[in-house]
Amino acid sequence: MNVIDGDAAGGILDDITVVDLTTFVTGGFATLMLANQGAEVIKVERPGAGDDNRHSGPPFVEPDPDYDGPGRTADENGESPYFWTINYDKLSVEFNLKTESGLEALYDLVAEADVVVENFRPGTAERLGIGYDDLQEVNDDLVYCSISAFGETGPWSSRPGYDLLVQGTSGIMSVTGPEDGDPVKVGLPQTDLITAMWAAFGIVGALFRRERTGEGDRLELGMHDAALPWLTKQAGKAFVGEEPTRMGTKDPVLAPYQTYPTADGYLNVGCANQKLWGELCEAIDRPELAEDDRFATNPDRVEHMDELEAELSAVFRERPTDEWVDLLAEDHGLPVAPVYDVPTALDNEQTEARGTIREIEHPALGTVPVIEHPINYENATAGFDGAPPLLGEDTEAILGELGYDEEDIDRLRDDGAIPDA
């Protein structure tokens, strides 16, 4: 199935069709990664409401009042930019899976697909008749991915969960924030995104295996499990009986490797090995620091991190951030960088030079910005071609691709399986 003729010819996942039954971020970002690599991703959404992420805001953006094409805005306030960032280059259909004909339409769609992704609470998909066993009956080489907060086994398996909860259970919050402060949530939906990347990785692996064996597979992962491997150095300390703690921007095993205040902002400094440490001391005109017994080696600097912070903070406060970057990064080639706010991160000379932020035509909004994903191939293409879909924008087109005629589509409307036009 290929409803949209895009520019992604040569994408790694060309000719792969993904049925996305997920809501919010975890599944959405996983299928976004697949769309970026050329897969056709079809969101199956609740009639009238759609993905919960469509209602995440404010802010909202009002569509063109003169737009009269297919699909519509799900929220009375307009379109959510947060929704855009997780749903570029996807298609949207509205199926009421609690009706028999809506469920049959989904089965027809899955029969032509390669991948299904769902993030219901364990047991929900089976109750709806869209579990792995149900869908494998219509597509025996299907790759089916189930995502939940805590996985399908264990004493927490029936609990609901969101990123905030899993940032807590995974230990991430315990090592995030100021040393003398409370546990702090990472400012991004980090465990959602971590889990999404694991899911996309697993799906591509299962598709590769299918190419070799002809067999589909079922993947099952929990957000809590997915976050734990990212603890790395903190887990390493715990494995030998030490308790990792909050350290602000400091690092538990490297120094200097943290944020320092400048005359007008902040500077990140990562000059932890001996060569870089010596070069930093020379560049800031403090060569005696390299000879100080407290700072002689990296273990010494870690042991005396507070004293080191005091010395370097006094130096870096003497100049603005840009001057330090010019001197240390540009002139001396040292690993230092400014701390940007989000608008500056999205709009600076490096981001612009890499073409990371683009604009995509949107039928009801004119254009919308898009953050491209970072993989650049020598012998394949990647990137987004289509705007995030309006709710139900592609329902009729996809049903037509499945062989439904106008009479069939009217029947689905009469049954309440799809909304009225």
Alpha-carbon span 373 to 356, nearest angstrom:
7
> What strands lie across the sheet with 115-118, from one edge to the other?
90-94, 40-45, 17-20, 115-118, 143-148, 217-222
The catalytic residues are 192
Question: What single letter denotes the amino acid at residue 398?
Answer: I
Would you give the distance in Å from CA 192 to the centre of its chain?
7
Alpha-carbon span 18 to 39, nearest angstrom:
7
The dihedral region occupied by 333, where left means phi > 0, alpha psi between -120 and 50, and beta the remainder, is left
Would you give the distance in Å from CA 304 to the centre of its chain?
37
- The DSSP secondary structure of 44-107, one letter per residue, reads EE-TTT--GGGG--S--BPPPTT--SS-B-SBTTBB-HHHHHHHTTEEEEE--TTSHHHHHHHH
